[in-house]
A = this chain, B = another copy of it.
């Protein structure tokens, strides 16, 4: 059985059936399918009519096989269940679709899927290109590159070996370091960064941490010993539970850099159950500027997510069209936003 069979046991019509019914050659049908202007209007009509009559649908696999193109891009990310990736994906797709490309998503979700992703014959590598988001190939693949010769670009990770577009997380960390309120004889806590499965991490958190500490220690003369990193998972739930139990061993105000707004949000609510509030009892700055961040008055660092998505799509398209010979290594700048929690 090597023809698609539809419900009644009938066969899907092929380009041949259309050609026969329209009384033209297969080549002509192919041309009207691809909007070739050299087809005579009368023939075009006939073909279009036959297509409709037969309910003909072109077979994408045959098309890909013979043309070597799919007009399809794969978007890979660790998860999709968060605002960052949804917005990033939307902006990528917008640019792609303006250029005649469609996109499918492949969230890793599990170790099992990661394994599939590392198989060179995976379907993803048979689309025209890939955008890989918030994932570090260094940690995922032995030779630190994707097992393919198809063009791809990394987004939201800094990578020396592969083409990439990212937001400068070191600078973002510095911004927090510049703006966070410090209190005498007091500690500064860094909250977050814990990734249960290291293979899925992108390295952005550690860059934020380094930028933050550099700024604090080198430019504001803060004692490094008073900076403590507390690992918390990247979810409201975990941060909340952490905040519920967290007891700063001091009476006076302290400062917190939460590596993501969702962490800040959960933590703030958790602390409230203890009667400890920002900015009265401590200062806290988040990272991301998500949809709810303004509402909860969270001081944070805004990432240009849409710009990031669009730029990565544009660059990938250029690579596909061989417009690029040299390495792509583009960084975008985040912005500090002061609100009420700092």
Partner-B contacts on A (CB < 8 A): 1-7, 12, 55, 57-62, 64-68, 70, 72, 79-83, 85-87, 89-90, 93-94, 97, 102, 104-107, 109-110, 112-113, 116, 120-123, 125-126, 149, 235-237, 240-241, 266, 269, 291-292, 295-296
Contacts and interface: CB of A to CB of B under 8 A. Distances in A.
Contact of A59 (B58, B65, B81, B149): B65
Contacts of A292: 235-237, 240, 266
A291 B233 CA distance: 13
26 contacts: A1-B68, A2-B66, A4-B68, A4-B149, A59-B126, A60-B123, A60-B126, A61-B62, A61-B64, A61-B65, A61-B70, A80-B80, A80-B81, A80-B86, A86-B109, A90-B110, A93-B113, A94-B110, A94-B112, A97-B113, A102-B123, A104-B104, A235-B291, A237-B292, A237-B295, A240-B296
B86 A81 contact: yes
Nearest to A110: B90
Contacts of A57: 120-121, 125
Task: Determine which residue in A81, A87, A90 has the highest number of CB atoms from chain B within 10 A of its CB, and name it.
Answer: A81
A104 B57 CA distance: 21
Contacts of A105: 80, 104-107
Contacts of A61: 60-62, 64-65, 70, 126
Given A4-B68, A60-B126, A68-B3, A93 B120 contact: no
A55 B147 CA distance: 10
Nearest to A273: B295
Contact of A81 (B3, B4, B83): B83
Nearest to A124: B104
Given A2-B67, A80-B89, 20 more contacts: A1-B68, A2-B68, A3-B68, A57-B125, A60-B123, A61-B61, A72-B123, A80-B81, A80-B86, A80-B105, A81-B83, A86-B109, A93-B109, A93-B110, A94-B110, A104-B123, A105-B105, A235-B291, A237-B292, A266-B292
Task: Determine which residue in A55, A61, A62, A106 has the highest number of CB atoms from chain B within 10 A of its CB, and name it.
Answer: A61
A325 B57 CA distance: 25
B12 A149 contact: yes
Task: Determine which residue in A70, A102, A106 has the highest number of CB atoms from chain B within 10 A of its CB, and name it.
Answer: A102
Contacts of A60: 61, 121, 123, 126
A80 to B, nearest CB: 4
A196 B60 CA distance: 33
A80 B66 contact: no
Contacts of A59: 65, 126
A302 to B, nearest CB: 15
Contact of A102 (B86, B89, B97, B116): B116
Contacts of A109: 86, 89-90, 93
A70 B60 CA distance: 12
